Amino acid sequence: MTARQCLTLSLADARRLLAGHHGRPGSLTSVIQRLGTIQFDPLAPLGTNPDLVLQARVPGYRQGGWQDAAYRQRLLVDGWDKQASLILPEHWWAQAPFHHWFARRWQQRGVDIDSPEARDLLDQVGQRGPSTSLELGDQRSDPALRGSWYGPKRSRHLLKALWDSGRLMTHHRVNGRHAYDLPERVLPNGACMPHTNEDDALEHLVVRRVQAAGLLRPTADAAVWLLPCQRAKRDRIASRAIDRGKLVELDVEGERYWATPEAISLLDDIPSSPGGESECCMRFLAPLDPLMWDRRGISRVFGFDYVWEVYKPREQRRWGYYVLPILWGDRFIARFDAQCREGILTIHAWHWEPGIVPSRLPEGASEALQRAAGDFLDYLGAKRVVLPRGLGREARYAWQRAAK
């Protein structure tokens, strides 16, 4: 703990802050601006991660809406944050530290973004316009690259390096595959970005990471804090952001957190004693929702232990393949594993949290579930739902009524 004075919050205050930050409904544009970054993941048993993040916050959102926002309206562009992400185009300038970091990493792996081959790929894109890896460069396989994550084609590795280093951007996607184009033809304002130094860009990245999460521990796992700098430099940058009033340091019952002033201000608008959970919205959250990034922090604040088991062998899974947490007001009450195909939502498993009795749900839970289930079915475009055992009669009826 530094000598700087911290704002003290209780765990109950922390729950209110996070529930307020992530639970407020808003327009697509306002939610995108509030989060600043949305992690991309191609797995889509219930829509992609951007879909799930947005449907939990944007009333009336429909699956695939993020693609229109990104590739037609340019409210978002593909970039890099915690992982591959969708970010605001006006924040592209802050990608520079990532671009330099990736360029060095690719160079160490023998891929030179300044080579004649790289310049030829850039020329091809310039002449052709948006193009996928199937249309660019040498399509022959390199035996030395067999088994590589990016496949055996050297041109594909070079295109990825050019994307990682900011020389190319994603104009749109074709069946999930990047259609590459030059930045000046993708960014709404062309390539005219403000000149800045590395510390300013890193400060933006640190603040944006906290902004998206709402409340974030400096000691969160390395995967949560992936940045193009060492942790000591990140701490120096965060300290500067605190001095400038862009971040606030918090003591939440003995553990340090960071938040933005905007998130802290929510505490003034959310009563300490809500008028009953029956009036609270229920939300189905994405496994990679920014609220769920710091899973140890969520366990401490909410008492909810979440594990994403998508990459575990089937026999080692406790909860299921693609499990969505369910937030009701400021507490997690359940999680479920599901998949939607051809208009049929199949819920493979439903797990109530300890303290929830399926045969006697808390007051208002059944009504909140019916509304949430109806919205979720509309989002998916599903006309039918297949329910598992273990739901309990009230929850089963809620889903059945929602599906009618």
> Do 112 and 23 have their domain in common?
yes
Residue 279 resides in a domain: no
Beta sheet of 384-386, edge-to-edge order? 282-284, 323-328, 331-341, 344-352, 384-386
> Do 91 and 212 have their domain in common?
yes
Beta-carbon contacts of 397 under 8 Å, excluding residues fewer than 6 positions away, are 366
- In this structure, are residues 175 and 218 in contact, taking their beta carbons and an 8 Å threshold? no
Categorize the per-residue pLDDT at 399 as very low, low, confident or very high, splitting at 50, 70 and 90: very high
Mean pLDDT in residue range 72-95 = 97
> Do 112 and 254 have their domain in common?
yes
Over 60: is that where the pLDDT of 1 sits? no
> Do 248 and 388 have their domain in common?
no
> Do 24 and 74 have their domain in common?
yes
> Do 216 and 320 have their domain in common?
no
Domain end residue (candidates: 210, 245, 270): 270
Pairing of strands 248-252, 7-9: parallel
Categorize the per-residue pLDDT at 4 as very low, low, confident or very high, splitting at 50, 70 and 90: low
- State the total domains in the chain: 2
Domain span at residue 118 reads 1-270
Question: Any bridge partners for residue 386, and if so which?
Answer: 346
> Do 262 and 318 have their domain in common?
no
Query: Residue 364 sits in a domain of what CATH number?
Result: 3.40.630
Full-prediction pTM beyond 0.75? Answer: yes
- In this structure, are residues 320 and 309 in contact, taking their beta carbons and an 8 Å threshold? yes
Over 70: is that where the pLDDT of 127 sits? yes
pLDDT value at residue 154 = 81
Comparing CA positions, the residue from 13, 25, 27, 8 lying closest to residue 268 is: 13
> Do 141 and 214 have their domain in common?
yes
Residue 275 resides in a domain: no
Domain end residue (candidates: 270, 297, 317): 270
Mean pLDDT in residue range 338-351 = 97
Residue 379 resides in a domain: yes
Q: Measure the CA angle with vertex 42, ends 324 and 308; round to 5°.
A: 35
- In this structure, are residues 349 and 335 in contact, taking their beta carbons and an 8 Å threshold? no
List the beta strands (DSSP E) in 48-161. Answer: 77-80, 84-87
Residue that wins the pLDDT comparison between 163 and 274:
163
> Do 113 and 243 have their domain in common?
yes
> Do 257 and 336 have their domain in common?
no
Residue 30 resides in a domain: yes
User: Over the stretch 222-246, which tens digit does the pLDDT of each residue have?
Assistant: 999 999 999 999 999 999 999 999 9
Hey, what's the torsion of the CAs at 223, 65, 284, 380, to 10 degrees? -130
> Do 111 and 253 have their domain in common?
yes
Q: How many CB atoms lie within 10 A of CB 279?
A: 11
User: Over the stretch 11-24, which tens digit does the pLDDT of each residue have?
Assistant: 999 999 999 999 99
Name which of 95-99, 277-281, 330-334 the model is least confident about: 277-281
pLDDT value at residue 150 = 65
Comparing CA positions, the residue from 123, 128, 122, 127 lying closest to residue 167 is: 122
